[in-house]
């Protein structure tokens, strides 16, 4: 068979970018996220739909402790996954509890998804969500000088794109708007994605691949980043994390060795954010200067 990318032929590459290859039934994970979100909305002060832009899909859920949050609280912005295809409403609070309990303001932006918009438009909306949080930090209950971003799966790709944004040139904001990023189980380089069956709905061009692959836009002033993936994930998703972590370290000079969770599949890595005592959650809290 003809090799399409690395040692993969077309069928193999398609399988590497299809999460159902290893997890045929993702329904239980989606249902658990809904249950966990309902619990988070009961436990915390939640504003479920705060507008951050003029488009209908540009809103975010904001979670805060019901007790008064310190005025200098960090803001953690979480970008959800879903193969760039799936919206998150009703599941946006699963990741929040460990961070809100520790004193952060947790923000989960909603955004348009393909094929309704292009991937470039998704990236733009996510950047606008960060800019909105910076400009409106006080009304959200947090500190504009303590904004952090995190994501899972395709949401980690979007997170990485916010982290490599030229905030001064593109938004007239300080270069260091984002103080730290956490990137979990993402498909960061779009070359194999564009060559896989995913491009039937993403419709990426070679120019899109270059423009929207975060590793190709790294600068020395990129924020500190935490990388993580599961040992039970598809080989390509594990490789993608290792490659971007190495590139991040090369660009910034900061160690970026990924956290590896040997028994976790792709969807368990999202749940790792919310698991009490998780190494991942502890690393994110430490990055924000918070204690569990």
Q: How confident is the model over 139-151, as pLDDT tens digits? A: 999 999 999 999 9
Q: What is the pTM of this model?
A: 0.98
Measured between alpha carbons, how far is residue 8 from residues 1, 15, 243 in Å?
9, 10, 17
pLDDT at 70: 75
User: How would you list the strands of the sheet with 59-64, edge to edge?
Assistant: 45-51, 59-64, 105-109, 75-79, 147-152, 178-184, 225-230, 259-261
Dump pLDDT digits (tens) for 159-218: 999 999 999 999 999 999 999 999 999 999 999 999 999 999 999 999 999 999 999 999
Strand ranges (E), the chain: 3-5, 8-9, 45-51, 59-64, 75-79, 105-109, 147-152, 178-184, 225-230, 259-261
pLDDT-flagged residues of the chain (< 70):
69
Mean pLDDT of all residues in the chain? 97
* Contact of 186 with 234, CB cutoff 8 Å: no
CATH number where 252 lies: 3.40.50.1820
Is it true that the peptide bond before 21 is cis, omega within 30 degrees of 0? no
Under DSSP, the state recorded for 142 is S
Number of domains in the chain: 1
Angle between helices 154-163 and 119-135 (to 10 degrees): 60
* Contact of 18 with 12, CB cutoff 8 Å: no
Q: Write out the residue range of the structural domain in which residue 233 sits.
A: 3-288
Under DSSP, the state recorded for 224 is P
Residue with tokens 């040992």: 231
Residue 208 CB neighbour total at 10 angstroms: 17
- The helix (H) or strand (E) run that includes residue 243 is helix 235-252
């Amino acid at each position: 068979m003809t090799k399409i990318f690395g040692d993969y032929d077309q069928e193999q590459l398609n399988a590497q970018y299809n999460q159902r290859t290893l997890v045929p039934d993702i329904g239980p994970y989606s249902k658990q996220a809904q249950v966990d979100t309902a619990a988070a909305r009961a436990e915390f002060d939640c504003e479920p739909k705060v507008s951050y832009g003029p488009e209908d899909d540009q809103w975010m859920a904001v979670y805060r402790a019901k007790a008064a949050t310190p005025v200098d609280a960090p803001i953690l912005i979480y970008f959800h996954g879903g193969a760039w295809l799936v919206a998150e409403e009703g599941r946006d609070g699963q990741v929040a509890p460990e961070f809100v309990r520790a004193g952060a303001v947790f923000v989960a932006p909603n955004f348009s998804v393909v094929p309704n918009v292009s991937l470039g438009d998704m990236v733009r909306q996510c950047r606008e969500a960060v800019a909105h949080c910076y400009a409106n930090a006080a009304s959200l209950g947090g500190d504009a000088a303590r904004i952090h971003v995190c994501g899972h799966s395709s949401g980690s790709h979007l997170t990485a794109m916010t982290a490599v944004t030229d905030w001064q040139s593109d938004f007239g904001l300080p270069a260091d708007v984002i103080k730290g990023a956490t990137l979990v189980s993402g498909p960061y380089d779009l070359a194999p994605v564009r060559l896989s069956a995913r491009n039937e709905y993403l419709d990426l061009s070679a120019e899109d691949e270059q423009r929207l692959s975060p590793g190709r836009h790294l600068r020395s002033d990129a924020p500190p980043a935490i990388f993580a993936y599961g040992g039970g994930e598809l080989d390509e998703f594990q490789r993608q994390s290792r490659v971007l972590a190495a590139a991040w370290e090369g660009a910034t000079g900061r160690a970026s060795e990924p956290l590896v969770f040997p028994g976790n599949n792709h969807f368990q890595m999202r749940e790792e954010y919310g698991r009490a005592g998780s190494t991942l959650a502890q690393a994110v809290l430490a990055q924000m200067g918070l204690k569990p």
